[in-house]
Amino acid sequence: MTLTLSKVELKVKYISFSADKRCIGSLNMYELVVEKTFAGAHNLRGYDGDCEKLHGHNWKVEVTLKAEKLNELGMVIDFKIVKKKLEEILSHFDHSYLNELGEFKQENPTTENVSKVIYNNLSAQLPPEIFVAKVKTWESEKCAAAYYV
């Protein structure tokens, strides 16, 4: 099925899963994963517990990009480009008190919301043929939250 809106074309591929969770249909995609880190402090407003107090994390951010096709060099996108864009986004958070940043004046700077902000910022900077499949943010070695659409 193809849906055309103005000058935007949306192609929808049919894919489904069988009862035993096997993929039925065809959706050929390439996936690229990049990780970066930043250090930042936050507190969770309204939380009943230790996380309501100011505390910090060494956050790890894992970004997954997808594309149907490779470029003329056989890449989704150069890793250096993605790392630079992610580094620029994370520099806004690095060594910051997240609650004081505009993105978190109203919303709590939870790991979930940090992932969503990074997702939205990176999505806006990529060419239309490459999309952010998921942003997974780790606040510790064993705790992470992801945002994807």
pLDDT in tens, 76-100: 999 999 999 999 999 999 999 999 9
Alpha-carbon span 40 to 37, nearest angstrom:
10
Of the chain, the percentage scoring pLDDT greater than 90 comes to 81
Q: What is the pLDDT of residues 17-62, one digit of tens each?
A: 556 545 455 578 999 999 999 999 999 999 999 999 999 999 999 9
Residues forming the active site: 51, 95, 139
Is 70 a residue whose pLDDT tops 60?
yes
Q: What does each C-alpha distance from 14 to 28, 65, 87 come to in angstroms? A: 12, 20, 35
Instruction: Return d(Cα 114, Cα 119) in angstroms, integer.
Output: 9
Domain ranges of the chain: 29-147
- CATH class label, 29-147: alpha beta
- Would you say 18 and 43 are in contact if contact means Cβ atoms under 8 Å apart? no
Contacts of 30 (CB under 8 A, 6+ apart): 66, 67, 68, 69, 70, 76
Helix, strand, coil: what percent of the chain each, to 5?
A: 25, 40, 40
pLDDT of 149 reads 87
- Compute, in degrees rounded to 10, the torsion defined by CA atoms 72, 131, 136, 118: 110
Q: What was the pLDDT predicted at 8?
A: 53
CA triple 97-98-100, angle to 5 deg: 75
Q: Report which DSSP code applies to 67.
A: E
What's this model's pTM, rounded to 2 decimal places?
0.83
